[in-house]
Structure 1
């Protein structure tokens, strides 16, 4: 059993007696150099800073330490974007025991007077500042966990880029310590004055802000694309059929601009996507859209059939381009019971493939036509787009 002890912002002296005794009795202490320096040296007690980079060598590092008498030092609550979460993911819940202190999130909400039920939390510790985007709404309150002194400035630039320059920003530094600080401004007013590396940013979006939101069917022009994009109405239909659920993974085969992957990730918490695109320029554009929306999309360049067996197991698969019988069957085989497969097609050849797949696996077939009003001389007239045939099936459900 490895014990993970959350150290309060006030320091070791604020730890409960039981946790102070745990540190004193530990055979091995692990933590950042800053935290390790707080603990008085003791004969026979080993001290080990985390390896750098941490994740690629973490399992080997832990194997070498063993688990007898190992105490890990963390800041605040180790399960709020902390090392406790990483250790549980690597070792399992039965091998890790967490002893939390007050988190920086709780301290930030207390300073702002924001109840938990009216506040969203986003960690930017190892993510782009654009990850805040999915939490932005008129009147929204967001507590952002910073990666360092540069994060508030990155956030300010993102907010201005999104037309939210009037968003209130409060940078709370060194929370809970004698050096606690507070800096207030709007995103548009933000300056690069010196800020503490340990900071949390509280954001409040104006109630009058105009935003597109994150519901499926965002306007096509909010994505970078070259015309190879699933149009907004059809995209909404695809997301409805894919049924994103918390923590699930999508394969987006023939991703084009990656718009379906983006909207999948926006539709439910902790969702991820793997986008496969054979055109290198488009694959790069998928990565750009993922960064702009702050969503976790892994991009693979290549033909779907060449890479499909190397991909992590999906919960749902969308084939928007390059559908063949081999790709369809490989995607179907990769799904566990309850997994969803959705295929869109516009050509008669591919339509014949999905009709045959429907006869093998069941599901639903639908044909959709979207018409938009466009100018015709001095008047408006309906202009139909190409019809889309959609086949959707859930494995294990006829």
Structure 2
């Protein structure tokens, strides 16, 4: 059995002194050590060749492949498989070639400093990623630990909290944990003004004001939370639609049709790492969907300029498909053929023509066919009256 030649070593601020004896021996025996600028100097690490991480990940992989057969150590911060380079390397190289050596992660150290139970905390990273993605996790009484890069990142997060009615949230920035230069900065979001080190970990104890915006991760956000031109899928219909689409971790949604992207946005909010690809030919609607994605904490919404079904070419196979507009047999056939096994398809219709087509498709393929009727109470001339929304026929099925 071939022995792993690549070792991914988690290392803390205390450098070699913090490593287990077996891990230290691996580093001392290395022929090549690859690390970043912020990794500690490895005193006593032998005569290994020292290389800096390439700027591009693909260049790092190419470098590692060129070193195959030598004893190679890649340095990572803390736990290499927890929001770190080790996970990305393991998705590309043969796992049998790699041995991981975890150290205490920044999440564990921060939880210990705060006295928080880690299973009760949301762990996030905005290191090299859009800061806006933390917005989806702002909830009353939530506790967040966030890996950050940039001295201004805590200030941006404080602004997100404050504008959503969470200005009283307690914030703590921790830097260089476990080292001689460890530092801590405490404050609240609405008055945050600390200058902090560029590489830091942020702990947030969310405190909601009585008028705070409530943005649950379950589907059915209020219509007014979305920028739209009047074609937003009503929250009641949207909630029913997402229930049938079933957001799941890492799953891919194709969102086809008109509107402001509300279904795609709520799909991504509904499960961690869920992806959504919205096909939309009109630039103004793509811009609207992008603005909604940014404001509601899912900045990675993918927008495709094109018309279905031609725009499906080259897209990753979906785990779910939502057809909210532009329904035709060609669109259904193309989407259905690409849908993965156990994939979910939901189509909504509100015109006689598209309802007739849904009825025909239901007869040919089965699934569930329902009509959703919603009435909302509204004040009219001092009284309360019921206003009926446009009824929607909804067809859903699972590919088996």
Q: TM-score, normalised by structure 1?
A: 0.93
Query: The residue matched to 1:217 in structure 2 has which SS?
Result: coil
Report whether the alignment pairs 1:16 with 2:20: yes
**Closer, same or farther: CA 34–217 of 1 in aligned 2, 3 Å:** closer
Q: Give, in whole Å, the separation in 2 of the partners of 1:335 and 1:294.
A: 27
Asked if structure 1 preserves the Cα contact closer than 8 Å seen for 2:166 and 2:208, the reply is no
Asked if structure 2 preserves the Cα contact closer than 8 Å seen for 1:9 and 1:76, the reply is no
Cα offset, 1:82, TM superposition: 0.6
Cα offset, 1:255, TM superposition: 5.3
Cα offset, 1:242, TM superposition: 0.6
Q: Give, in whole Å, the separation in 1 of the partners of 2:37 and 2:128.
A: 19
Write out per-residue CA displacement over residues 254-291 of structure 1, whole angstroms, 9 at most, x where no aligned residue.
Answer: 25211111111122222111111111111122122222
1:195 paired residue number:
196
1:171 paired residue number:
173
Report whether the alignment pairs 1:47 with 2:47: no
1:241 paired residue number:
244
Question: Which residue among 214, 219, 222 is the counterpart of 1:219?
Answer: 222
Matches within 5 A, 1:46-125: 46-52=49-55, 54-66=56-68, 68-125=70-127
1:205 paired residue number:
206
Q: Give, in whole Å, the separation in 1 of the partners of 2:19 and 2:327.
A: 59
Query: The residue matched to 2:190 in structure 1 has which SS?
Result: coil
2:140 paired residue number:
138
**Closer, same or farther: CA 68–132 of 1 in aligned 2, 3 Å:** same
Asked if structure 2 preserves the Cα contact closer than 8 Å seen for 1:345 and 1:389, the reply is yes
Cα offset, 1:34, TM superposition: 3.6
Question: Which residue among 14, 30, 35 is the counterpart of 1:31?
Answer: 35
Cα offset, 1:304, TM superposition: 2.2
Asked if structure 1 preserves the Cα contact closer than 8 Å seen for 2:133 and 2:297, the reply is yes
Q: Give, in whole Å, the separation in 1 of the partners of 2:97 and 2:71.
A: 12
**Closer, same or farther: CA 149–255 of 1 in aligned 2, 3 Å:** farther
Question: Which residue among 265, 276, 297 is the counterpart of 1:294?
Answer: 297
Matches within 5 A, 1:345-384: 345-384=349-388
1:341 paired residue number:
345
Asked if structure 1 preserves the Cα contact closer than 8 Å seen for 2:138 and 2:161, the reply is no
Cα offset, 1:73, TM superposition: 0.6
Query: The residue matched to 1:80 in structure 2 has which SS?
Result: coil
Cα offset, 1:56, TM superposition: 4.5
Q: TM-score, normalised by structure 2?
A: 0.93
Cα offset, 1:338, TM superposition: 0.7
Q: Give, in whole Å, the separation in 1 of the partners of 2:209 and 2:382.
A: 36
**5+ unaligned residues in a row in structure 1: which ranges?**
none
Q: Give, in whole Å, the separation in 2 of the partners of 1:127 and 1:35.
A: 20
CA RMSD of aligned residues (A): 1.9
Q: Give, in whole Å, the separation in 2 of the partners of 1:181 and 1:139.
A: 25
Query: The residue matched to 1:188 in structure 2 has which SS?
Result: helix
Question: Which residue among 258, 268, 274 is the counterpart of 1:265?
Answer: 268
Cα offset, 1:358, TM superposition: 1.4
Write out per-residue CA displacement over residues 179-216 of structure 1, whole angstroms, 9 at most, x where no aligned residue.
Answer: 1111111101111x421122111111126564232221
Moved more, 33-42 or 157-166: 33-42
Matches within 5 A, 1:309-328: 309-328=313-332
**Closer, same or farther: CA 255–55 of 1 in aligned 2, 3 Å:** farther
Write out per-residue CA displacement over residues 54-97 of structure 1, whole angstroms, 9 at most, x where no aligned residue.
Answer: 23444433333325312111111111211111111222533322
Query: The residue matched to 1:234 in structure 2 has which SS?
Result: helix
Query: The residue matched to 1:87 in structure 2 has which SS?
Result: helix
**Closer, same or farther: CA 177–243 of 1 in aligned 2, 3 Å:** same
Moved more, 230-239 or 28-37: 28-37
**5+ unaligned residues in a row in structure 2: which ranges?**
none
Asked if structure 1 preserves the Cα contact closer than 8 Å seen for 2:265 and 2:293, the reply is yes
Q: Give, in whole Å, the separation in 2 of the partners of 1:370 and 1:204.
A: 38
Write out per-residue CA displacement over residues 40-62 of structure 1, whole angstroms, 9 at most, x where no aligned residue.
Answer: 6855x33322222x234444333
Aligned residues: 393
Asked if structure 1 preserves the Cα contact closer than 8 Å seen for 2:223 and 2:235, the reply is yes
Query: The residue matched to 1:172 in structure 2 has which SS?
Result: strand
